């Protein structure tokens, strides 16, 4: 039984005292480096901080003052904006992706390759590079002439076009057995019914992947809200952190309290749905 | 199989009468038509995606390219200026410096993330539950929003002796560093922050890759008397080839397009020592309204990422043959 656990370093199965010490020290070091700063954030958010310049690792009496000040600065509104954007954006992205995935995976039609290549090509197109033209388009949508600048809708609608989700859905839907679809078709089911009652329920794992991945990606958005927001009433929480910090009356403790609120949702989603998340990471990275 | 055989006969008789619309199509393409439905069904399903991609990816891309050849004047109409914007970009010192900073940052972060990520993955490969916990904890920086990462590190980098990192360094007797406030250390400081956030991501991908390395080879290497280092060099690293190239592309693109952490940590300062292409484009386009020049810079940046991606793909294909 030792064969499957054989690893490159053989570190994990070393049982000697020296090996254990090395192991403990390395893991402690890893934790300090990667989790330590986040622990400092957590501690400072609940700490009395008199010194306006620095964080403290040692708690000096827990308090909710930092959160109170943060809420006085409008953090609740920014948080609600963020939730609104992530909710709307995710809903749109998932809806768009499952529909497109169904067509690309279950249908054969002329022009399919062109559509597939065009969508895949956008994976190589960093959104940062489109920042300037995108902000112009959001100010005046071609044909319909809407101005989305300064609205939450402007931060939501562009999130619908995300090639990664479409790719994941397409790949997954391809694996649903043909026979199920054929049987439903003989029973007289139309495309919409087959899509909603046969294919979609079979794709729950993929829905989990794009849901969890989409959530963290949208929650992490910075540039798009920055392009769209005109004043603090439409700021999302990540954007608001900067304005908080620039305010001279605000201590790092308050910024950290707001930061804690800004990082909790994505950390919670990650911890609860680790499996889906890692699946998404590897399917996104290892497929190329 | 049986399903397909039933169909033609059904078309010929009762069903044809019940659904007259299906008949003409069924005659010209007997089997496909039924399975595929009407020709526009797939397009209906694709419509929302195509509309959104058109508006927010394809049109902006097209506009970026046209704008890069124009002097963009809101309300006055755009003037075609040919390659002038590109000339401006390529001859300006600010841009060349920003390009250099971007390359330095991208190379440093990519190398740092790959090396540290591989080291972490090798250290934490295994099945025990305790390891799973440590892996999750180490992975947390990846899911923390970049804006939070920047604010956190800004405070940790506080330049006086009582700043968090400075007081830690003080324990080892080193004098306080200015970090992001000092032009000599600002770039390295941003790089460290980027590696802190990027390495655990690479670790996770490496771990997935390590899972597919043939365990038998380790055993064989052990029997042949190979030490740990040799096992890694001759078994693990070759087994991770494709993972390396994918991570390289991802990290390099991530590095070239870096914006948010620089924008929040230094916004290009001090003394322009951390100005990267994206922060410069942002300033040109959205603060100084020189949209055409900004667009030219963006197109060049896009070409650079494209060339890099294609090169690595070609290189990889040759390696596989």
Find the mean pLDDT for residues B225-234.
79
With 0-12 / 13-18 / 19 or more C-beta atoms within 10 angstroms meaning exposed / middle / buried, residue B2 is exposed
Contact A161 B55 (CB under 8 A): yes
| Cβ–Cβ < 8 Å for B179, B97 | no
Complex confidence, ipTM: 0.89
Two structure tokens written together for A286: 């290892």
Local confidence band at B319 (pLDDT 50, 70, 90 cut-offs): low
A185-194 burial, b for 16+ CB within 10 Å, e for fewer? Answer: beeebebeeb
Q: Which residue of B has its CA nearest to A131?
A: B282
Quote the Cα angle for A11-B251-B103, to 5°. 125
Find the mean pLDDT for residues B47-63.
94
A86-95: per-residue pLDDT in tens? 999 999 999 9
pLDDT at A266: 93
pLDDT at B102: 94
Distance from CA of A47 to the nearest CA of B (A): 15
Find the mean pLDDT for residues B195-214.
89
**pLDDT of B18 over the 80 cut:** no
Distance from CA of A211 to the nearest CA of B (A): 14
pLDDT at B80: 85
Question: Nearest Cβ partner of B164 from A54, A96, A161?
Answer: A54
Local confidence band at B2 (pLDDT 50, 70, 90 cut-offs): very low
Strand partners, A62: A47
Q: Would you give the DSSP letter of residue B182?
A: S
Peptide bond into B176 cis (omega under 30): no
Each as own residue / partner, the long-range contacts of residues B301-305 (CB below 8 Å, 24 or more positions apart, any chain) are B301/A129, B301/B256, B301/B257, B301/B277, B302/A125, B302/A126, B302/A129, B302/B64, B304/B256, B305/A124, B305/A126, B305/A129, B305/B252, B305/B253, B305/B256, B305/B257
Arithmetic mean of pLDDT over chain B? 83
Distance from CA of A238 to the nearest CA of B (A): 5
Higher pLDDT, B99 or B71: B99
Q: Which residue of B has its CA nearest to A11?
A: B123
Higher pLDDT, B68 or A14: B68
Cβ contacts of A129 within 8 Å, gap of 6 or more: B64, B257, B298, B299, B301, B302, B305
Local confidence band at B22 (pLDDT 50, 70, 90 cut-offs): very low
Local confidence band at A14 (pLDDT 50, 70, 90 cut-offs): low
Local confidence band at B61 (pLDDT 50, 70, 90 cut-offs): very high
Find the mean pLDDT for residues A68-77.
90
pLDDT at B32: 47
Q: Which residue of A has its CA nearest to B195?
A: A34
Which residues of chain A have a CB within 8 Å of the CB of B49? 96-97, 99-100, 119, 160-161, 166
DSSP B239-256: HTHHHHHHHHHHHHHHHH
pLDDT at A284: 67
Distance from CA of A69 to the nearest CA of B (A): 17
pLDDT at A91: 97
**pLDDT of A115 over the 70 cut:** yes
Give CA–CA dist B189/B181, Å, rounded.
Answer: 10
| Cβ–Cβ < 8 Å for A63, A47 | yes
Q: Between the ranges A81-95, A178-192, A224-238, where is the mean pLDDT highest? A: A81-95
pLDDT at A10: 60
Q: How many helices (H) and strands (E) does chain B have?
A: 19, 2
Contact A6 B3 (CB under 8 A): no
**pLDDT of B34 over the 80 cut:** no
pLDDT at B321: 57
Q: What share of chain B has pLDDT > 90, as a percent?
A: 40
pLDDT at B312: 79
pLDDT at B8: 41
Q: Which of B258, B254, B275 is nearest to B266 (CA)?
A: B275
pLDDT at A11: 57
| Cβ–Cβ < 8 Å for B220, B307 | no
SS3 state at B79: strand
pLDDT at B198: 93
A242-274: per-residue pLDDT in tens? 999 888 888 888 899 999 999 999 999 999 998
| Cβ–Cβ < 8 Å for A206, A170 | no
Distance from CA of A263 to the nearest CA of B (A): 5
**pLDDT of B13 over the 80 cut:** no
Question: Nearest Cβ partner of B152 from A4, A37, A195?
Answer: A37
Which of left, alpha, beta for A212 (phi over 0: left; psi -120 to 50: alpha)? alpha
Find the mean pLDDT for residues A177-205.
89
Contact B63 A4 (CB under 8 A): no
pLDDT at B187: 94
Question: Nearest Cβ partner of B57 from A40, A161, A179?
Answer: A161
Distance from CA of B274 to the nearest CA of A (A): 18
Higher pLDDT, B107 or B168: B107
Listed range (A223-232, A274-283, B55-64) with the worst mean pLDDT: A274-283
**pLDDT of A226 over the 90 cut:** yes
Listed range (A146-155, B14-23, B202-211, B247-256) with the worst mean pLDDT: B14-23
DSSP chain A: --GGG--SS--TT--SHHHHHHHHHHHHHHHHHHHHHHHHHHHHHTB---SSS---SS--SB-SHHHHHHHHTTHHHHHHHHHHHHHHHHHHHHHHHHHHHHHHHH---TTHHHHHHHHHHGGGS-GGGGHHHHHHHHHS-TTT----TTSSHHHHGGGG--HHHHHHHHHHHHTS-HHHHHHHHHTT--HHHIIIIIIHHHTHHHHHHHHHHHHHHHHT--HHHHHH--SGGG--HHHHHHHHHHSTT--HHHHHHHHHHHHHHHHHHHHHTHHHHHHHHHHHHS--
Quote the Cα angle for A120-A124-A126, to 5°. 125
Distance from CA of B169 to the nearest CA of A (A): 14
Question: Nearest Cβ partner of A54 from B163, B282, B298?
Answer: B163
**pLDDT of A80 over the 50 cut:** yes
Q: Which residue of A has its CA nearest to B144?
A: A263
Listed range (A51-60, A193-202, A268-277, B92-101) with the worst mean pLDDT: A51-60
**pLDDT of A9 over the 70 cut:** no
Residue B33 neighbours by CB distance under 10 Å: 18
Contact B123 A11 (CB under 8 A): yes
Contact B58 A118 (CB under 8 A): yes
Contact B145 A220 (CB under 8 A): yes
**pLDDT of A57 over the 70 cut:** no
Q: Between the ranges A13-17, B109-113, B304-308, where is the mean pLDDT highest? A: B109-113
Find the mean pLDDT for residues A22-36.
89
Query: Which of A58, A105, A111, A126 would best serve as a mutation to test chain B binding (most B beta carbons within 10 A)?
Result: A126
pLDDT at B316: 72
Distance from CA of A176 to the nearest CA of B (A): 16
Listed range (A216-225, A228-237, B137-146, B311-320) with the worst mean pLDDT: B311-320
Which residues of chain B have a CB within 8 Å of the CB of A105? none
Contact A38 B305 (CB under 8 A): no
SS3 sequence of B112-131: HHHHHHHHHHHHCCCCCHHH
Give CA–CA dist A120/A116, Å, rounded.
Answer: 6
Query: Which of B3, B70, B145 would best serve as a mutation to test chain A binding (most A beta carbons within 10 A)?
Result: B145
Q: Between the ranges B34-48, B108-122, B299-313, where is the mean pLDDT highest? A: B108-122
Higher pLDDT, B21 or A282: A282
Alpha-carbon distances of B240 from A286, B106, B120, B234, rounded to whole Å: 11, 22, 15, 11
Question: Nearest Cβ partner of B36 from A109, A259, A285?
Answer: A109
Which residues of chain A have a CB within 8 Å of the CB of B140? 34-35, 38, 267, 270
Query: Which of A7, A36, A89, A194 would best serve as a mutation to test chain B binding (most B beta carbons within 10 A)?
Result: A7
Q: Which residue of A has its CA nearest to B293?
A: A132
């Amino acid at each position: 039984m030792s064969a499957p656990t054989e690893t490159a370093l053989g570190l994990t199965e070393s049982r000697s005292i020296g090996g254990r010490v090395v192991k403990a020290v390395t893991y402690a070091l890893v934790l300090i480096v990667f989790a330590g700063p986040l622990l400092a954030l957590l501690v400072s958010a609940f700490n009395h901080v008199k010194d306006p310049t620095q964080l403290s690792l040692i708690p000096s009496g827990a308090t909710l003052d930092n959160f109170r000040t943060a809420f006085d600065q409008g953090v609740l509104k920014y948080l609600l904006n963020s939730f609104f954007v992530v909710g709307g954006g995710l809903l749109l992205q998932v809806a768009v992706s499952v529909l497109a995935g169904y067509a690309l995976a279950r249908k054969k039609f002329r022009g399919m390759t062109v559509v597939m290549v065009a969508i895949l090509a956008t994976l190589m197109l960093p959104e940062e590079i489109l920042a300037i033209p995108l902000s112009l388009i959001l100010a005046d949508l071609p044909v319909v002439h809407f101005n989305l600048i300064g609205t939450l809708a402007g931060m939501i609608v562009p999130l619908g076009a995300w090639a990664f989700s479409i790719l994941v859905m397409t790949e997954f839907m391809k694996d649903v057995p043909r026979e199920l679809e054929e049987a439903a078709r003989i029973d007289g089911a139309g495309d919409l019914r087959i899509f909603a009652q046969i294919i979609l329920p079979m794709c729950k794992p993929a829905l989990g992947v794009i849901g969890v991945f989409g959530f963290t990606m949208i929650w992490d958005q910075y540039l798009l809200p920055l392009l769209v927001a005109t004043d603090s009433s439409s700021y999302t929480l990540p954007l608001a952190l900067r304005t908080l910090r620039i305010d001279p009356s605000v201590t790092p403790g308050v910024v950290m309290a707001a930061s804690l609120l800004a990082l909790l949702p994505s950390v919670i989603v990650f911890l609860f749905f680790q499996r889906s998340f890692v699946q998404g990471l590897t399917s996104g990275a290892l497929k190329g | 199989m049986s399903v397909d055989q039933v169909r033609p006969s059904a078309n010929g008789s009762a069903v044809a009468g019940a659904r007259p619309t299906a008949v003409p199509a069924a005659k010209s393409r007997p089997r496909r038509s039924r399975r595929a439905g009407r020709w526009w069904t797939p397009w209906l399903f694709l419509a929302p995606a195509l509309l959104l991609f058109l508006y927010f990816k394809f049109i902006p891309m097209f506009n970026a390219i046209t704008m890069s050849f124009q002097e963009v004047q809101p309300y006055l109409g755009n003037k075609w200026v040919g390659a002038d914007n590109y000339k401006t970009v390529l001859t300006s010192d600010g841009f060349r410096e920003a390009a250099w900073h971007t390359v330095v940052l991208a190379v440093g972060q990519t190398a740092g993330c790959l090396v540290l990520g591989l080291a972490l993955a090798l250290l934490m490969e295994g099945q025990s539950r305790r390891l799973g916990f440590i892996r999750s904890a180490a992975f947390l920086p990846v899911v923390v929003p970049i804006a939070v990462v920047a604010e956190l590190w800004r405070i940790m980098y506080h330049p006086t002796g009582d700043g968090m990192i400075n007081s830690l360094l003080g324990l080892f007797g080193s004098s306080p560093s200015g970090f992001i406030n000092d032009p000599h250390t600002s770039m390295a400081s941003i790089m460290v922050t980027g590696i802190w956030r990027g390495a655990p991501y690479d670790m996770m991908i490496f771990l997935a890759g390590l899972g597919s390395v043939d365990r038998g080879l380790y055993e064989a290497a052990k029997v042949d008397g190979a030490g740990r280092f040799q096992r890694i060099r001759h078994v693990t690293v070759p087994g991770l080839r494709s993972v390396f190239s994918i991570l390289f592309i991802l990290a390099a693109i991530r590095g070239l397009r870096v914006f948010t952490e620089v924008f929040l940590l230094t916004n290009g300062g001090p003394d322009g020592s951390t100005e990267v292409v994206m922060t410069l484009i942002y300033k040109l386009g959205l603060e100084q309204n020189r949209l055409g020049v900004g667009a030219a810079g963006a197109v060049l940046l896009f070409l650079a990422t494209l060339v890099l991606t294609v090169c690595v793909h070609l290189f990889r294909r040759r390696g596989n043959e």
